């Protein structure tokens, strides 16, 4: 053997491939302020657009007078629905099969709705001109409560649909009703519940909140009148889908549209949807012949772009006396606001909420979801929860706690008793999913041991005694959660968005000197794709990750893909990357065999090279093979070394985890302190442990915010009460808890490298853990359930209602 050859392990380490805690390559730019965000873009002659927004939640528009605004120096154009109507762009399709007004057409349906679009030479002129536009509104009765919206005499919100009894997802039974979605076996479930030993029942509300990324939504539209090409730089989580939809609704040929997502300052689901600002900026650029920028301010973003959650989940769960769960029943009233603009795969109007049987082996279940219109902003995006999975996990993890109370059982034990066992995978759930793999008992036991569960319970009991004896005013709550996520949408056969199948893609080009560029159909918003996708490739093709450029987000260069949300990049584009890498390797193998003068089958892969079987000293490195691919005529082979893969996953992946929160609550002030937060995640094969840890910190912090105070609340006349960061809770370093992360590894059996998603998991798992901790603290005093967010006032109120204030 060649003495100069470093050992296998050393060569593998040099690649910084799978499993390496490689530092994020994008951060050199980001931490030095060298990011390139939409608002950094300045094109020659660029104009600025901004909206007149409705102050009312429901009103008829009697007239709009823009004369004064148009006369103002620096104002170039004002668009209203009347201007867009001839182009048929005053309404647009939503991702959920509904339609939405681009600019108010006759009436407004939520506070902050776009009424007119002002285009001016700079942002400040646009803002001043907005003030000069006179809109004559006639107020209409407002409906903010989704239950009252269904009353027979409730005001008609969507006059455009008034006599339509069929919606995008089946029959509508009321003028404010959108759809009913049913899953599971109703009769069997009701029969089980009807004769069960124990039935626990609860209404679990997951309040309306907002992803609130650091960077708001925006775009710069630029129509080149000479060559007819429309270029739109924007904060898009799915650039290719935007291109196709833009082509379909504008009639511009798809090759004449170029969508570019530059750096994105956090997406979290907020940047999946299509917003009126995009359409207006495009139309304004076509009308004025120069680029038009539209970027939201913070209030616009909180008030008008897609919200998340707002699910009223009525649940019933049954069990035997000794705690074996026998059935689950759930009815959801889903408040969709004024238009159904949910971002879910077409066949799933309530996303993957039917994962609500969670981590448990529940023999029968039934679920019905009713979508309802109200006078609130449209949306219904994930916010780090892959299509309503957070709602589902919160629901089942609350129901488990409620059942434990009813049974007088320890909630950890109840979970252990009902987990799907390792030998049951692949597991078919009662509501229709096939869980790919899992080992819940191992993860759960590891978590309970790590936090010292038994001694925590003893300490908690001691604290309770002290409280009752008047020695302390603080209680301890232990919040448990075990979640099962479902990410990686998805098989094209059942997952599409507006008819676009949810596969994803990767295209690789190896350069002659042995470095490479790979382009994907996804787009990072901070997740670190430039770092991790290079790691997948490094392990597959033996080229160091540092020598591989990852590029995403430009539809003129990237292969078609459905984008990044629902933690789908790793399960889908990550799989495409591995598969494309394998194609490269297969060709490299033929080149190696030729150069080594042996048969193709007589060379074998060895970390970064092909070597002759049984003669490892005879080898060709990937670097040598790349050079040969371009510089040597090889009989029977085309020159070059490139590959592309479009990957349609056979199934979703099912990451899971065990989260435990130890919290102290002050009974008199309602304040809390997170003493400990333990998060165990199993996302299958781990690409980059450091990035995973960062994802868990970020997601758990968002979960903390949601559980402990963050919400978009409306008053009874539809005013948004938290449309500024003064009122909307975004945790700073000061409030953010300290996290302990841990993991187990249960690879996905169908993913080429066994990886599952992880980005969303920490939100899915942490919200129930935080909330259950609050509930657990008050369990000895009879608290069964209380709605989130658990801000100081609400916790104080729980204590007061339980008579703990003396």
Which residues form the interface with Cu ion (CB under 5 A)? 382, 385-386
User: What token pair was written down for 132?
Assistant: 């000069």
- 3-class secondary structure, 447: helix
**Least distance CB 204 / Cu ion (angstroms):** 18
Q: Is 348 in the site for ligand PCD (CB under 6 A)?
A: no
Q: Does the active-site annotation cover 237?
A: yes
Listed residue (496, 508, 488) closest to 557, CA to CA: 508
Cα–Cα distance measured from residue 314 to residue 531, given in angstroms and rounded to the nearest whole number: 43
Q: Is 701 in the site for ligand PCD (CB under 6 A)?
A: no
Which C-beta is closer to ligand PCD: that of 246 or that of 272? 272
Which C-beta is closer to Cu ion: that of 387 or that of 796? 387
**Least distance CB 357 / ligand PCD (angstroms):** 21
**Least distance CB 608 / ligand PCD (angstroms):** 21
Pattern of binders to ligand PCD over 563-582, x per CB under 6 A? Answer: -xxxxxxx------------
**Least distance CB 532 / ligand PCD (angstroms):** 3
Distance of CA 548 to the CA centre of its chain: 27
Which one of 237, 525, 527, 535 is the catalytic residue? 237
CB atoms under 10 Å from CB of 633, counted, come to 7
Listed residue (125, 20, 17, 13) closest to 73, CA to CA: 125
Q: Is 683 in the site for ligand PCD (CB under 6 A)?
A: yes
**Least distance CB 706 / ligand PCD (angstroms):** 12
**Least distance CB 213 / ligand PCD (angstroms):** 6
Beta strand extents in 464-590 (DSSP E only): 474-484, 496-497, 500-501, 504-510, 516-520, 548-552
User: What token pair was written down for 235?
Assistant: 């904060």
* CA-angle at 720, arms to 714 and 723, nearest 5°: 135
**Least distance CB 566 / Cu ion (angstroms):** 5
Which C-beta is closer to ligand PCD: that of 506 or that of 755? 755
Which one of 280, 385, 495, 506 is the catalytic residue? 385
Q: Does the active-site annotation cover 342?
A: no
Q: Is 654 in the site for ligand PCD (CB under 6 A)?
A: no
Residue labelled with tokens 């937060």: 677
Q: Is 692 in the site for ligand PCD (CB under 6 A)?
A: yes
Q: Is 301 in the site for ligand PCD (CB under 6 A)?
A: no
Segment interacting with ligand PCD (CB under 6 A) among 177-185, 250-258, 522-530, 541-549? 522-530
User: What token pair was written down for 513?
Assistant: 């000197």
Q: How far is CA 803 from CA 472, 781, 796, in A?
A: 16, 9, 11
**Least distance CB 700 / ligand PCD (angstroms):** 11
Measured over the CA atoms of residue 8, residue 9, residue 15 and residue 19, the dihedral's sign is: positive
**To which H or E segment does residue 413 belong?**
helix 411-418
Q: Is 374 in the site for ligand PCD (CB under 6 A)?
A: no
Query: How many chain residues are in contact with ligand PCD, going by CB under 6 A?
Result: 40
Segment interacting with ligand PCD (CB under 6 A) among 116-124, 636-644, 691-699, 784-792? 691-699
**Is the preceding omega at residue 148 within 30 degrees of 0, hence cis?**
no
Q: Is 506 in the site for ligand PCD (CB under 6 A)?
A: no
Cα–Cα distance measured from residue 234 to residue 624, given in angstroms and rounded to the nearest whole number: 40
**Is the preceding omega at residue 740 within 30 degrees of 0, hence cis?**
no
Segment interacting with ligand PCD (CB under 6 A) among 8-16, 244-252, 472-480, 526-534? 526-534
Q: Does the active-site annotation cover 568?
A: no
- Any residues with CB less than 8 A from the CB of 310 and at least 6 apart, and which? 146, 206, 207, 208, 334, 335, 336, 337, 376, 380
Which C-beta is closer to Cu ion: that of 359 or that of 386? 386
Q: Is 357 in the site for ligand PCD (CB under 6 A)?
A: no
- Any residues with CB less than 8 A from the CB of 720 and at least 6 apart, and which? 111, 112, 302, 303, 377, 712, 713, 714
Instruction: For the chain, state the CA radius of gyration.
Output: 28
- Any residues with CB less than 8 A from the CB of 351 and at least 6 apart, and which? 342, 344, 345, 382, 386, 387, 388, 389
Task: Kindly tell me which residue out of 645, 695, 741, 772 binds ligand PCD, with binding defined by CB under 6 A.
Answer: 695
Which C-beta is closer to Cu ion: that of 704 or that of 796? 704
Segment interacting with ligand PCD (CB under 6 A) among 221-229, 357-365, 562-570, 789-797? 562-570
Q: Is 691 in the site for ligand PCD (CB under 6 A)?
A: yes
Which residue numbers are catalytic? 237, 384-385, 760
Residues that bind ligand PCD (CB under 6 A): 237, 266-269, 272, 382-386, 525-529, 532, 564-570, 683-688, 691-692, 695, 698, 755-760
């Amino acid at each position: 053997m060649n003495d100069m050859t470093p050992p296998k392990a050393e060569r593998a380490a040099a690649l910084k491939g799978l499993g390496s805690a490689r530092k994020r390559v994008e951060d050199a730019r980001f931490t030095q302020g060298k990011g390139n965000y939409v608002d950094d873009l300045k094109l020659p002659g660029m104009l600025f657009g901004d909206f007149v927004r409705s102050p009312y939640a429901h009103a008829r528009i009697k007239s709009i007078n823009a004369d004064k605004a148009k006369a103002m120096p620096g104002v170039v154009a004002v668009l209203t629905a009347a201007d867009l109507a001839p182009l048929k762009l005053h309404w647009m399709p939503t991702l959920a099969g509904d339609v939405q007004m681009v600019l108010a057409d006759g009436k407004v349906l939520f506070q902050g709705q776009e009424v007119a679009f002002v285009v001016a030479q700079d942002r400040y002129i646009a803002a001043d001109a907005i003030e000069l536009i006179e809109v004559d509104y006639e107020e209409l009765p407002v409906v903010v409560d989704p239950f009252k919206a269904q009353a027979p005499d409730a005001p008609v919100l969507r006059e455009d649909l008034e006599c339509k009894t069929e919606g995008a997802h089946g029959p509508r039974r009321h003028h404010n009703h959108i759809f009913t979605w049913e899953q599971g076996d109703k009769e069997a479930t009701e029969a089980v519940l009807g004769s069960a030993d124990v039935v626990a029942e609860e209404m679990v509300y997951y309040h309306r909140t907002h992803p609130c990324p650091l960077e708001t939504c925006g775009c710069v539209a630029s129509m080149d009148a000479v060559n007819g090409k429309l270029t739109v730089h924007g904060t898009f989580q799915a650039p290719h889908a935007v291109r196709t939809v833009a082509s379909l609704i504008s009639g511009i040929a798809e090759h004449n549209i170029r969508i570019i997502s530059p750096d994105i300052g956090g997406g979290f689901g907020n940047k999946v949807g299509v917003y009126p600002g995009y359409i207006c900026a495009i139309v304004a650029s076509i009308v004025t012949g120069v680029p038009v920028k539209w970027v939201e301010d913070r209030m616009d973003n909180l008030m008008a772009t897609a919200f998340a959650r707002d699910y009223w989940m009525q649940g019933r769960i049954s069990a035997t006396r000794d705690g074996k769960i026998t059935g689950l029943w759930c009815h959801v009233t889903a408040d969709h606001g004024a238009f159904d603009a949910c971002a879910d795969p077409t066949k799933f109007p309530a996303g993957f909420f039917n994962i609500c049987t969670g981590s448990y082996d529940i023999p029968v279940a039934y679920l019905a979801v009713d979508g309802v219109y109200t006078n609130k902003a449209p949306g219904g995006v994930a916010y780090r929860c892959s299509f309503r999975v957070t709602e589902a996990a919160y629901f089942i993890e609350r129901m488990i706690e409620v059942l434990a109370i009813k049974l007088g059982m320890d909630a950890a034990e109840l979970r252990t008793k009902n987990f799907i066992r390792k030998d049951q995978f692949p597991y078919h759930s009662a509501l229709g999913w096939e869980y790919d793999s899992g080992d819940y008992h191992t993860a759960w036991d590891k978590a309970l041991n790590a936090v010292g569960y038994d001694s925590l319970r003893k300490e908690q009991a001691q604290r309770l005694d002290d409280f009752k004896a008047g020695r302390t005013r603080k209680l301890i709550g232990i919040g448990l959660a075990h979640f099962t996520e479902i990410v990686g949408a998805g098989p094209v056969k059942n997952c599409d968005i507006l008819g676009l199948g949810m596969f994803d893609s990767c295209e690789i080009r190896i350069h002659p000197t042995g470095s490479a560029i790979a382009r994907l159909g996804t787009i990072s918003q901070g997740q670190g794709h430039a770092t991790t996708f290079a790691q997948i490739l490094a392990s597959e093709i033996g080229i160091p990750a540092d020598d591989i450029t990852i590029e995403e987000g430009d539809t003129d260069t990237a292969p078609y893909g459905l984008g990044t949300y629902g933690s789908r990049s790793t399960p889908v584009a990550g799989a495409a990357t591995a598969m494309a890498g394998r194609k490269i390797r297969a060709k490299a193998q033929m080149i190696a065999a030729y150069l080594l003068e042996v048969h193709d089958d007589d060379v074998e892969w060895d970390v970064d090279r092909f070597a002759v079987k049984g003669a490892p000293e005879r080898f060709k490195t990937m670097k040598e093979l790349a050079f040969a691919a371009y510089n040597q005529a090889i009989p029977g082979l085309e020159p070059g070394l490139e590959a592309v893969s479009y990957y349609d996953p056979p199934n979703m992946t099912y990451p899971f985890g065990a989260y435990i929160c130890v919290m102290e609550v002050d009974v008199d002030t309602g304040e809390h302190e997170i003493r400990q937060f333990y998060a165990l995640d199993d996302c299958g094969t781990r690409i980059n442990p450091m990035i995973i840890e960062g994802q868990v910190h970020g997601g758990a912090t968002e979960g903390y915010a949601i559980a402990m105070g963050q919400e978009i609340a409306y008053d009874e006349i539809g005013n948004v009460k938290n449309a500024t960061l003064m009122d909307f809770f975004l945790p700073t370093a000061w409030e953010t808890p300290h996290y302990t992360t841990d993991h187990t590894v249960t690879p996905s059996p169908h993913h080429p490298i066994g990886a599952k998603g992880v980005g969303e998991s920490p939100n899915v798992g942490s919200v129930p853990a935080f909330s259950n901790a609050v509930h657990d603290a008050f369990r000895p005093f009879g608290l069964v359930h209380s709605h989130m967010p658990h801000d100081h006032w609400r916790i104080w109120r729980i204590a007061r209602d339980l008579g703990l204030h003396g």
